[in-house]
Amino acid sequence: MEGSRAGIAPRRCDRNEDFGQTFALLERLPVDLESVRSEVERVIVSEADLQKRLQEIARTIESDYRDKDLLLIGVLKGAVMAMADLARYLNRHVEMDWMAVSSYGSGTKSSGVVRILKDLDKDITGRNVLIVEDIVDTGLTLDWMRTNLESRGAQSVEIFTVLRKPESAMVKVDVKYVGFDIPKDFVIGYGLDFNEKYRNLPFIGVLAKHMYE
């Protein structure tokens, strides 16, 4: 690693932090503490670690995009939290746009065929685009998105993701800014959902198996 990329090596995050250790954090949960205690097996990235990492990455992005325009493109819905926090940590002008996409067919994400549910509002010809994502799992969504945005004539297309699951990758995607590499567990919080719940938790947790098995 060298130059501006030196500070952005992904963090490996597979610790088992139980709720006892993060009780202070849980006191300010937006949802019922007791239900979360029984539904979330463990915290794998605390709110403090998440925010610290986003600030580090924001400094690197400022440096990489000095004297360039920067258009953040968030992928709904999971990227809402990351977009809101990252954008506020960037000490520069940014523009924001949003896409919503869905995998075609069965609801599994393994087809790689993506349908646009909501397209960008504006033309991106000549723009420096940074895709903002909550998670890269199989990589199929981001692989498709990058190709799609490049085909629209963007000057550059890079990717920021809060989380990446290297063990789940089905396709290699070059992700320039990675918050944390995590194990293959079912994770929720900070934009990530299970049946649309848990997106507003401020940390990343592992969903208890009894919730989906």
Interacting residues with ligand PRP (CB under 6 A)? 75-78, 109, 133-141, 193
For this structure, is 137 an active site residue? yes
Q: Identify which of residues 23 and 104 has a Cβ nearer to ligand PRP in the complex.
A: 104
Give the Cα separation of 42 and 181 in Å (integer). Answer: 16
Task: Answer yes or no: are the C-beta atoms of 17 and 206 closer than 8 Å.
Answer: no
- By CB atoms closer than 10 A (0-12, 13-18, 19+), residue 122 is exposed
CB atoms within 10 A of CB 132: 23
What is the distance in angstroms between the CA of the first residue and the CA of the last residue of the chain?
A: 41
Q: How far is the CB of 133 from ligand PRP (least distance, A)?
A: 6
Q: Identify which of residues 135 and 149 has a Cβ nearer to ligand PRP in the complex.
A: 135
Structure tokens at 57: 């990455």
Q: How far is the CB of 109 from ligand PRP (least distance, A)?
A: 4
Q: Identify which of residues 26 and 143 has a Cβ nearer to ligand PRP in the complex.
A: 143
Which member of 49, 64, 137, 143 is catalytic?
Answer: 137
Tell how strand 11-12 and strand 177-181 pair up.
parallel
Q: How far is the CB of 170 from ligand PRP (least distance, A)?
A: 7
Residues with catalytic annotation?
137
